[in-house]
Structure formats: C-alpha cells, structure tokens
Amino acid sequence: MEILKHDLLIIGSGIAGLRAALQAAYTAKIDIAILSKVQVMRSHSVSAEGGMSAVLYPDKNNDSLELHAYDTIKGSDYLADQDAVELLVQMAPIEVRFLERIGVPWSRLPDGRMYQRPFGGMSVPRTTFAADKTGFFIMSTLYQNILRFDNIKQYHEYFVTKLIIENGEFKGVTALDLKTGELKLFLAKAAIIATGGAGKLYRFTTMAHSSTGEMLGFALRSGLALKDMEFVQWHPTALVPSGILVSEAARGEGGYLINKQGERFMKRYAPQRMELAPRDIVSRAILTEIAEGRGFVHEESGMGYVGLDLRHLGEGVLTQKIPFITELAHKYVGVDPLEEPIPVRPAVHYFMGGIHVDTYGRVLAPDGSWVRGLWAAGEAASVSVHGANRLGSNSLSECSIWGRLTGEAAAKYAMEAPTPATDERYIKAAQGEESRIFDKLLHKETGGISVYELRGRLQDAMEQHFGPYRQESTMKEGIPKLLKIREDFANVRVEDGGRVYNQNLKDALELDGMIDAALAVAYGALARQESRGAHYRLDYPKRDDKNWLKHTLAFFNGGQIQLSYIPVRITKWTKFEERKY
Amino acid sequence: MPTLTVKVKRFDGKKSWWQEYKVDIKSRRISVLDVLVKIKEEQDPTLAVRYSCRMAICGSCGMVINGVPRLACQTLLTEIKDDTITVEPMWNHRVIRDLVVDTEPNFEKLRKVKPYIIRDLKEIYESDREIGQKPEELEKYYNFAYCIECGLCMAACPVVATNQRFLGPMALAAAYRWSADSRDQGWPVRAKIVDTDEGVWSCHLAYTCSAVCPRGVDPGFAIQLVKAALMRRAKKL
C-alpha cells in the first residue's frame, strides 16, 4: 500500500477548504495536500448564487457590525453562539475585501465600490454579490489562486474512507483513489475537514449529487461529536421538479411569492418583511399554502408549488442582477420569468449542524477536549453561527472566514508538530480498511440490495419522518426504518467488480456514512421537544428557552447514538424576542 | 412517452465498445445527465460518468452528445428531437473509463498562464485594502471569467487534437481574463508565456472552442484580443 506524507491535509475543496489551503500556504512553507472526492474546482460551493454578507460601508448603508450580529442571532432563533457571531461579523468585511484583492469579479457601483443587495432576515442591504453566481466566482477565483502556490498538492477524486485518530490526536486518513481504485494511507501532522453538507440525505434538495455528508458519519465513527444536526434548512424556492436552487436574490431584488389566487400570501405570515422574512418562516408559509389547497400542482411529479413572480422586475434586473435564475428557469422548467411566474417549493438546502468545533474551528471530542491537530470549517462544521436557522448569504462569509482561520491555525500548528512516524498501527488500520472495502464490500457473493434502492429508502424515510413538520409519533415510526436500513446495508450489493473509477463502490461507501449522519438528525429531532428555527414540532409548536436553549451533541457510545447537551454561549444579546418579521 | 435508445461508447481500460440501453421516460424536460444517472442506478451500475451539480455550473459532465461536445446536464431532451441519443467521452482527452476522461493536463496548462492577480503578495494577504473596480473595468474581462474549466473547448479544438503542447483555448482565455483585470499587473509576465508557438500563435481561428462553450465565454475571441495586444506591443491590456 502506498503511504503518503504531508504536513497538512485539507479534506474537501469547497470555499472553506480552498480558502484554508490558500491561507495555510501563505502562512508557512509547509507541505499541504487537498483531498477531494470530486475534481477540486467542482465542489458544491459553485452552486451558491445570492451572495456574501458583510458590513462593508456602514455609513453609506446605515449599517453596523452590531446590527449584522443582531440580525444573525435573531435569525438563528437565539441558538447561535454569540461570541462566534461577533467574530463572523467582524471578519466578514475583511474577507470580502480579501476576495476582492485576489480577483473575485464582484458586481460594482459606478464609483467602483462593491454593490450590496437586500436578503432575507437582514435589516439593510449587506449581501455582496457577483451577479447570481457568487459561489461559482469565489470558487473559480480561489481555485486559480491555489495554482500560485507550489506547496499545495491537489488530489482530485480521492475519497476519504476513514479518519485515523489516536489518543485524542489526529494521525491521518485512508483514501480511495477513484482513478486507479487503490486505497492509500495519508499521514499528516494536521487536518481540516471541509466536506460540506448532506443534502442527499433527503430526496428533494437544492444540493449537488456529491453533497452526501458521509464524512459526518465517518466523524461519528472515529469518536467525534456532531452538533445540532436536527436543524436542517429548507430553502423556500427550488425549481419543481428538479430541486435546482432559485436564489433568494430573486426576492432580494423584489420578486413576489404568489399562490393560486395570485395573492402575495406572505402578508399573512410576515407582514413587515414579506418575501424577505428568514427562510424557515417563508418555507413554512409556502408549505401551509400548498397544504391548504392554495398552491398549484405539478402534473408529472404531483408536487405542490407556488409561483415566484418576477414579471414586474423588468428585463434590466433579470439580465443584469439575476441572469442565472433567468437561464435556469428557461432551461429546466421552460418558463420565461418575464412572462410567467416560476414554479417553486421548499427543498433541503443547508445543515446548520455539523462536526462539533469551538469558536476557532478546533474539533472537539464529546467531552469538550480538543482533538489535537484537527479542525473543521464550513458547512461540515457547526461553530455555531447559524444556530437553528441560517440567514441567506451568511454561509459564504462563514466558509471564507473559518477557512482562513483554520488554515492559518493549522499551518502554525503543523510548523511546530513532529513529522508523523510510519507506525505499524496506522498501516494495520489501513489494511483493515482495504479488507473492509475490497474483500467484504466489493467481492461479496450475495444477491443483496442495490445501493441506489437502499439510498432511496433512506431519502424517503428522511422526507416522510424528519421533514419540515415533525411530531413524536411520525418520528418514532421513522427511527426503526433507519435502523433497518442500517441493518440492510450489510447486504448491499456492489455490482461493479472493477477497480478503475468504480462509482458504484464509492456510492456504497457514501451511503454507509450517510446512514449514521441521518441517525444523528433523527435522534436529535425526536429528543428536542420544542420548535426553534428550522426544527418545527407540531406537538411542541413554541420555542422553549427554559428547557431547550442548548446545543445537541450526538456521538457514538457502544455503537449507538447517544445525546448530550451543552449551553449556548451568550454575550450581550440577552433579550430573547419572539421572532416576528 | 417514447422509449429512448441510448448508445454509449464504453471503455474498461483495455477495450472499447458501444453499448445500447433502452430507457422509458415520462417527460422530455429532463437532461441527458438525468438519463445517464437513471441508467446507472436502475440498469447498469458499472457505467462510469462524472457529474455533480446538475445545473451547468460545476463543469463535471462534458461529453460528446450526438456528435457535439456538450454538458450532459445542460442538454435537455426537448432539444433532441430524435429518440436515439449517442454519447461518447470528450475528444482529445485520455479516457479513464467510459465517459470519464483525464482533464488534469488542462489544469496544468491553466497553471502555466498564472491565472491569478499578480501584484504585491504582501498587499494581497496582509493589507485590508479595497482596490476598487469600475463597472466598465469589470465589463472588460467579465465574460471571460465565466469559464467553468469543463474542457469542452479543448475537446472541440482541432489544434489541440494534433498538437499536445498547444496551451489551448481554456488556458489562453484565462490569460486574457486575468491580464485584462484592472487589479492585475501581470501582463508583461503572461505576454512572454503566450507569445510563443505553444501559445496564441498556434490558434488557427477555427472558433470551435467558442461554438461549444456552455457558458458563452468565447475563448476564440479572447485569443484574438491577446494576439492584437501582442502585435501592438501593448503595455497593459
């Protein structure tokens, strides 16, 4: 087996991972490797459309760091850690300007400053954007800037199968090289996990095929904890029936949501902010309209939907500010937004939860101790700045900021730490992985169950039992289904017997991790007997600060998910208002 | 709805063959990628296809569909009138397996043209300066910044087909994009790299690159702009 050594491994290549790589490469002359299961520039961050929040011009926009923090904390339904939010708002303008200096083509005002648009839950326009392909432009700029540094090596299409952690210290990973089908052992002084979200736990999602979230499951297996996994964000406007995202920028630029009667129904749910209320509120409003018969019905899929009406915005706004939305609507649903409303409904979009980390992105064990040498950033981590509900455009800021912070910290750590020894124990661990993957999974002689059939069952169970409206009885029926899927995975059949670019095998390995990540969502949701942000319980429709103003931690204990709780860090926002918009 | 016949050119590392699949569809408003994923998940899990975003922005699923280099996710059945679809891997690339090709040589060519802002590195990484850019300065390079590095232009280029060393439309368009950015000071460095046989002078103006670009980048035009700047010995783009 090939053994590869680097100082710092970055697992995942979205905005958080690439930003971390750049900062680490500039900070120290260390040997950095990016491992990505996709080609490095193709991560799901490219699909982010709307923009990146930051208080850039406080005087001109009548904005302040204080106000950005307040909006974020209120938007989070008070579950965000306030010290982390303070760091977010303070660093966001610094990061937007950094991205400006490395070449992001931000949309501009006539005087050369950056344009900012309104976004849901934000009191003033503070979302910086590059048309409506902001994520793509940031990704492309970061990726090309990576090419400046010869101390960054890119491993395209390397699927990490296991984290090796020993005595509370990171040691390395095993990864499957998809192009050759060989398993390799990577030893390193430090690592940053930046593998993104887990949209594919559900059937209807805005996320890419690659956003499967298996690393969250692998993290559980290596003894790490996941935080607040029950908080899953449904984005209000995804195209029917594909789930392709229609950015909040459409509403930021003035788009309306209308029901079958042509009514702007948001006036009944959020009379002041209307279409620009936070996502949890708008998504539930749309689902209520559909449930009460005021939605449209999509003929082929049977899905209910409402209309996103952009007709009044005019051609100028559509072609200058939101050209991608116009293109996507035209291409994938055959609708010209100047002529008719776009059919949309809520879809899984973002996981507020993720790997348990502290304010600086250091990965914490269930007992709160730092796993030395290990960081996590971006959607894969839960810092937590989003709490129970993320505001649109805060994620690009988060990814960029915590990419930078973890990149810098990990590089400094790697400069001091000793080179990992090629210990027999790590080789044994890797050989165990080889046996699990190639002997047991790839060459299993059984009839078995198709990977895709089982994954479909997982997605259906999550949609049915852990969707935007939850209650104890349905969730209690859902958990045995997930446990059965866990059990049935032992009989999964990899039909592709080859080694080279065996996606069928990769898909099976993904599914294995997805099931554990799904269980963390399920147990967290069942236990939390309140409604807060994106977690809505029909049987407990009110927020309960007395009992539930706390973060959930999920971790494995004897192969079973166990939960514990830790307090929310509160600095100066101590008035827990009811969220009215 | 009709039954589609999908003919896929396959490769397993040793031999190459054509395989036919029959697929029942409910609607034509689905993409060729949707059809290939359906085949993979319901009929033949051994079919290798690279894909991710399914919304024409990640650049994974370039392939040759009915004789034209295209993104599978951006090609809807509504645009293909025929009920037979022929799919092969991108031309001018080494095939790894089935529809998956090695695009890493493209990325190495991209690296050669220094695709990033060239100016004081300390200023970039340690200052908090906002450089600023007027809308008209943005316009100058904006269209060329849309490149998703899918490699379709490289697949379509007749010069790439015969001259492995040619930097090709993807990297040369990037050379223009970065040099034309008002924040950049790197044109003198990049001019030396592209003013060569491997650079812009090998372009024969076939413009197939621009014809197939799924994001309308127009690399052919970028190359001509670079040639013009070299001819007039421009100090700045």
Last residue of a domain, one of A541, A557, A576: A541
- The reply to whether residue B58 touches residue A42, judged by beta carbons under 8 angstroms, is yes
Model pTM greater than 0.80?
Answer: yes
Q: For residue B61, give the chain A residue with the closest CA.
A: A42
The CATH number linked to A487 is 1.20.58.100
Q: Is A60 on the interface with B (CB under 8 A)?
A: no
The CATH number linked to A322 is 3.90.700.10
Task: Supply the pLDDT for residue A483.
Answer: 98
Q: Is residue A416 part of a domain?
A: no
Q: Is A302 on the interface with B (CB under 8 A)?
A: no
Give the angle subtended at the CA of B173 by the CAs of B169 and B177, to the nearest 5°.
175
Q: Which of A44, A203, A251, A528 is catalytic?
A: A251
Q: Which residues of A touch B55 (CB under 8 A)?
A: 47, 244-245, 328, 332
Q: Is A170 on the interface with B (CB under 8 A)?
A: no
Q: Is residue A142 part of a domain?
A: no
Q: Is the Cβ–Cβ distance between A21 and A10 less than 8 Å? A: yes
Rounded to an integer, what distance in angstroms lies between the CA atom of residue A305 and that of residue A239? 9
* Segments forming the whole domain that contains residue A320: 237-346
Rounded to an integer, what distance in angstroms lies between the CA atom of residue A57 and that of residue A63? 7
Task: Supply the pLDDT for residue A300.
Answer: 84
Of B58, B76, B78, the CB nearest to A46: B58
Q: Is A328 on the interface with B (CB under 8 A)?
A: yes
Task: Tell me the per-residue pLDDT of A366-382, one tens digit each, with 9 for 90 and over.
Answer: 999 999 999 999 999 99
How close B167 gets to chain A, by Cα (Å)?
16
Q: Which of A19, A235, A537, A551 is catalytic?
A: A235
Q: Is A180 on the interface with B (CB under 8 A)?
A: no
Task: Supply the pLDDT for residue A277.
Answer: 95
Average pLDDT over residues A87-111: 98
Average pLDDT over residues A504-532: 98
Of B115, B128, B130, the CB nearest to A144: B115
Q: Is A473 exposed, middle or buried (0-12, 13-18, 19+ CB in 10 A)?
A: exposed
Rounded to an integer, what distance in angstroms lies between the CA atom of residue A301 and that of residue A192? 40
Structure tokens at A269: 């749910």
Report the sign of the C-alpha dihedral through residues A197, A200, A206, A209, in that order: positive
> Can you list the domains of chain B with their CATH numbers?
3-101 (3.10.20.30), 104-231 (1.10.1060.10)
Sequence letter at residue A138? I
DSSP line for B18-36:
EEEEEEE-S-S-SBHHHHH
Task: Supply the pLDDT for residue B135.
Answer: 97
Task: Tell me the per-residue pLDDT of A112-151, one tens digit each, with 9 for 90 and over.
Answer: 999 999 999 999 999 999 999 999 999 999 999 999 999 9
Q: For residue A133, give the chain B residue with the closest CA.
A: B57
- The reply to whether residue A101 touches residue B41, judged by beta carbons under 8 angstroms, is no
Task: Supply the pLDDT for residue A420.
Answer: 82
Residue B199, sorted as left (phi over 0), alpha (psi -120 to 50) or beta, turns out to be beta
Task: Supply the pLDDT for residue A68.
Answer: 98
How close A155 gets to chain B, by Cα (Å)?
11
Range of weakest confidence among A89-93, A426-430, A446-450, B48-52: A446-450
Task: Supply the pLDDT for residue A434.
Answer: 96
Average pLDDT over residues A44-60: 96
Q: Is residue A116 part of a domain?
A: no
How close A144 gets to chain B, by Cα (Å)?
6
Q: What is the dihedral angle through the alpha carbons of A297, A303, A306, A311, rounded to the nearest 10 degrees?
A: -80
- A-B Cβ pairs (cutoff 8 Å, strict): 164
Task: Supply the pLDDT for residue B15.
Answer: 96
Percent of chain A with pLDDT over 90: 96
CB atoms within 10 A of CB B119: 14
pLDDT band at A322 (very low <50, low <70, confident <90, very high): very high
Asked if pLDDT for residue A320 goes beyond 80, the answer is yes
Q: Is A532 a catalytic residue?
A: no
Task: Supply the pLDDT for residue A412.
Answer: 98
Task: Supply the pLDDT for residue A444.
Answer: 76
Task: Supply the pLDDT for residue A349.
Answer: 97
- The reply to whether residue A46 touches residue B57, judged by beta carbons under 8 angstroms, is yes
Q: Is residue A52 part of a domain?
A: no
Average pLDDT over residues A376-399: 97
Rounded to an integer, what distance in angstroms lies between the CA atom of residue B45 and that of residue A493? 10
| Domains held by chain A: number | 2
Q: Is the Cβ–Cβ distance between A127 and A118 less than 8 Å? A: yes
Last residue of a domain, one of A279, A313, A346: A346
Q: Is A408 on the interface with B (CB under 8 A)?
A: no
Residues of A numbered 334-393 whose beta carbons fall under 8 angstroms of chain B's beta carbons: which are they? 334
Helix axes A134-146, A82-102, angle to 10 degrees: 70
Rounded to an integer, what distance in angstroms lies between the CA atom of residue B86 and that of residue B69? 12
Low-confidence residues of chain B: pLDDT under 70: none
How close A19 gets to chain B, by Cα (Å)?
12
- The reply to whether residue A332 touches residue B55, judged by beta carbons under 8 angstroms, is yes
Q: Is A501 on the interface with B (CB under 8 A)?
A: yes
Average pLDDT, chain A: 96
Q: Is A251 a catalytic residue?
A: yes
Task: Supply the pLDDT for residue B110.
Answer: 98
Q: For residue B53, give the chain A residue with the closest CA.
A: A208
Q: Which residues of A touch B128 (CB under 8 A)?
A: 94, 97
Q: Is residue A187 part of a domain?
A: no
Q: Is residue A279 part of a domain?
A: yes
Task: Supply the pLDDT for residue A421.
Answer: 87
